[in-house]
Every structure is written in structure tokens, then in C-alpha cells.
């Protein structure tokens, strides 16, 4: 059933590369169908991954993307992404870059359809789903935040063709208190993502895995990936690269602040010298 032994060291499924791997590797279809079904809230019979290949491993490579782009039952398409690191986000705390990127990717996904000979209202629905390893909406309760196109005043839906969804894995404390049988599928999958690597939560994760075939498959694939020395080496190297990049960015900010401070210190010193010179001249003229 894909149950996770307590003594096994697992790679975190919320890592973006690991996330894509266990949803797109051969044999992962039940896991992806489970996730797709949880997202669109209806049974999924078939799902086709359109970018199954894992990208290059160089963290600096601009083409690196770990999203899962899939078509579901011929009437829905979804781009599913794991955003575990703030590395590429601005440090202001409002996460506007992440939100804007989500909208950009959603519009790009929806407009990628061919509209030739098809009424616009017959285009298939597009979802942009972002699992987040950090809090994006601290002012909102709950951990699932769907957004659609609605009127600013009376909330009337313009059209349901596109939808963006953010799922915050940092807000699962209340979900953990629920019996597994009362959890929704998106809650079960979020528990798996957030806690599968942590031995302290292995019992609740295994109960979640036992409850759904798709999660059992995800558990088996996660164990397989975690035992792969190449994948573990890639994971370590990417973590080191990310840490180095964040350190370099922090040092660059400190250097910029130091230069700005030194510049203003020079300005203040220059102004003080001019004032002292002026006072000296005024004293001589008396």
C-alpha cells in the first residue's frame, strides 16, 4: 500500500523537483488523477501529462520549470506547481511577484488553445494551481484560496473559463485535528506533501496513504525517488545552490545598503564642513 516506514529518510515531496517527479514518473497516473480530482472536485477518469520530462538540474538554468501541465478528461486543463522556496520572490512580504506569475501562467495556458472554428465559450477550462510552502495570504483563514473573474461590486461571475488556486501548506494545523475519514482529498494530499518526510508525523501520513489508492502510489514513488542516489545528489546540490544564491543576494543587499550609507555620510560631512566654513567666515567679518 505504499506505507512509509518510520526509519526511512525521505526526500520532501514539497520540493519542486521531487513534487514533479512523483506526479509524472512512469506509474504515477493514479497519483496524478487523484490530485486532479481533488483540485477540480469531481472524479477524473483520464489525465494526460504534457510536460512529463524533468528539466535540467542546474539551478541557474532559466528554462528550469517543475510544473505539471496536464489535460483532464478533455474538458479541463491544469498547470500544477509547487512553490517551496521564496528564493525568486520579492522580500516585501506581499508576494506580488508570485501572484502576478500565477496570472501570467494561467493566461498563457488558457490562450494556448486553438480557437479556430470553436466558439470562445466552448474553450476548455484552465486551472493554475500553486501549492505554497509558505504563507501567501496571512489575512485569510483556511489554506485553500481559489480566485476567479468576478464583478468588483456584486461578485457576479464573468466567466468560469479560468481559475487560479493557491494552497498554503503552512496552515494545516486544523486539518491535522480531523479524523482522516473526514478529510477532503485536497486536505489528505496537502498533509502528504507537508509531512511525509517528517518521521514525527509518519502515523497520520500513513493513515492518509491507506485511505486512497492515488496517495498509496504517491507514497511508493516517493520512497523509490528517495532511495535513488542520483536524485538525492541532485536534491543536495540544488539545496546548496539555492542557499548560496540566497546568501549572495543577501550580501549584495548589505553591500548596496553600506554604499548608500557611506554616500549619505559623505554628503552630511560635506554639508557640515560647508556650514563650519560659513560660520568661520561670518566670525571673521564681525
- Residue pLDDT, tens place only, 209-238: 999 999 999 999 999 999 998 888 877 777
Helix (H, G, I), strand (E, B) or coil at 49: strand
Strand order in the sheet with 125-132: 47-49, 68-72, 76-83, 125-132, 157-168, 144-150
Instruction: Please state which of the ranges 17-21, 39-43, 83-87 shows the lowest mean pLDDT.
Output: 83-87
What is the structure's pLDDT at 91? 59
What is the structure's pLDDT at 85? 73
What is the average pLDDT across 135-158?
Answer: 95
What is the average pLDDT across 71-84?
Answer: 90
Rounded to an integer, what distance in angstroms lies between the CA atom of residue 134 and that of residue 171? Answer: 9
What is the structure's pLDDT at 61? 46
Nine-digit cell string for 68: 505539471
In this structure, the strands spanning 76-83 and 144-150 are unpaired
What is the average pLDDT across 43-70?
Answer: 74
pLDDT at 23 over 80: yes
Higher pLDDT, residue 26 or 64? 26
Instruction: pLDDT band for 62, please (50, 70, 90 cuts).
Output: very low
What is the structure's pLDDT at 59? 44
Rounded to an integer, what distance in angstroms lies between the CA atom of residue 140 and that of residue 132? Answer: 14
Chain centroid to CA 154: how far? Answer: 31
Measured CA to CA in angstroms, residue 105 lies from 16, 93, 151 at distances of 17, 21, 22
Rounded to an integer, what distance in angstroms lies between the CA atom of residue 2 and that of residue 192? Answer: 12
Where do the H-state alpha helices sit in 10-62? Answer: 16-24, 29-40
What is the structure's pLDDT at 82? 93
Instruction: Say whether pTM exceeds 0.85.
Output: no
What is the structure's pLDDT at 277? 73
Amino acid at each position: 500500500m505504499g506505507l512509509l516506514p518510520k526509519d526511512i529518510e525521505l526526500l520532501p515531496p514539497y520540493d519542486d523537483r521531487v513534487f514533479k517527479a512523483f506526479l509524472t514518473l512512469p506509474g504515477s497516473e493514479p497519483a496524478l488523477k487523484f490530485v486532479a480530482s481533488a483540485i477540480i472536485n469531481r472524479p477524473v477518469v483520464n489525465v494526460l501529462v504534457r510536460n512529463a520530462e524533468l528539466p535540467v538540474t542546474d539551478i541557474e538554468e532559466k528554462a528550469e520549470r517543475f510544473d505539471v501541465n496536464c489535460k483532464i478528461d478533455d474538458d479541463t486543463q491544469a498547470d500544477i506547481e509547487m512553490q517551496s522556496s521564496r528564493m525568486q520572490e520579492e522580500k516585501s512580504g506581499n508576494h506580488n511577484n508570485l501572484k502576478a506569475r500565477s496570472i501570467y501562467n494561467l493566461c498563457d495556458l488558457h490562450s494556448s488553445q486553438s480557437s479556430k472554428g470553436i466558439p470562445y465559450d466552448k474553450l476548455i477550462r484552465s486551472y493554475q494551481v500553486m501549492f505554497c510552502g509558505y504563507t501567501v495570504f496571512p489575512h485569510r483563514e483556511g489554506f485553500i484560496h481559489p480566485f476567479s473573474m468576478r464583478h468588483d461590486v456584486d461578485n457576479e461571475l464573468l466567466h468560469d473559463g479560468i481559475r487560479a488556486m493557491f494552497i498554503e501548506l503552512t496552515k494545516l494545523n486544523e486539518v491535522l485535528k480531523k479524523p482522516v475519514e473526514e478529510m477532503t482529498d485536497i486536505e489528505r494530499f496537502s498533509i502528504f506533501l507537508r509531512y511525509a518526510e517528517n518521521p514525527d508525523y509518519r502515523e497520520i501520513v500513513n493513515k492518509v496513504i491507506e485511505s486512497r489508492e492515488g496517495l498509496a502510489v504517491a507514497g511508493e514513488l516517493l520512497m523509490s525517488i528517495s532511495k535513488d542516489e542520483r536524485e538525492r545528489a541532485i536534491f543536495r546540490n540544488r539545496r546548496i545552490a539555492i542557499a548560496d544564491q540566497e546568501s549572495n543576494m543577501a550580501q549584495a543587499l548589505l553591500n548596496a545598503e553600506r554604499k548608500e550609507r557611506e554616500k549619505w555620510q559623505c554628503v552630511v560631512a560635506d554639508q557640515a564642513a560647508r556650514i563650519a566654513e560659513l560660520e568661520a567666515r561670518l566670525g571673521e567679518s564681525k
